[in-house]
Amino acid sequence: MIHVIAAIEIKPGAQQQFLDEFHALIPAVLAEDGCIEYGPTVDVETGIGVQIPLRENIVTIVEKWESIDHLKAHLVAPHMDAYRAKVEAIVVDTVLQVLAPA
């Protein structure tokens, strides 16, 4: 199993538009072979001193896949191309972190 953390920077004021498109995508991704978990998260204030500063224009996607091969297949799935076309004008940057349980 692998874990994926994708930090997606959204243009100011476009977070809800991005989340609407992302939530529409979720059922197709969850139906993919090898998908264990897939969902968006946003920073929340906790008052915990070691927490990083809140990032108001970042949506963090938390994913779990059975393997890297499943992740690679996900990245080229037709519904992912359609989703990217819908959000490309509001996405500034994407940073991907792929992790394995230790």
Delimit the domains of the chain by residue range.
Answer: 2-99
pTM: 0.94
CATH number of this structure's domain 2-99: 3.30.70.100
Averaged pLDDT in 10-residue chunks for the chain of 102 residues? 98 98 98 98 97 95 98 98 98 98 96
pLDDT of residue 74: 98
pLDDT of residue 69: 98
pLDDT of residue 97: 98
Q: Report d(CA 99, CA 2) in Å as an integer.
A: 6
Q: Report d(CA 71, CA 32) in Å as an integer.
A: 10
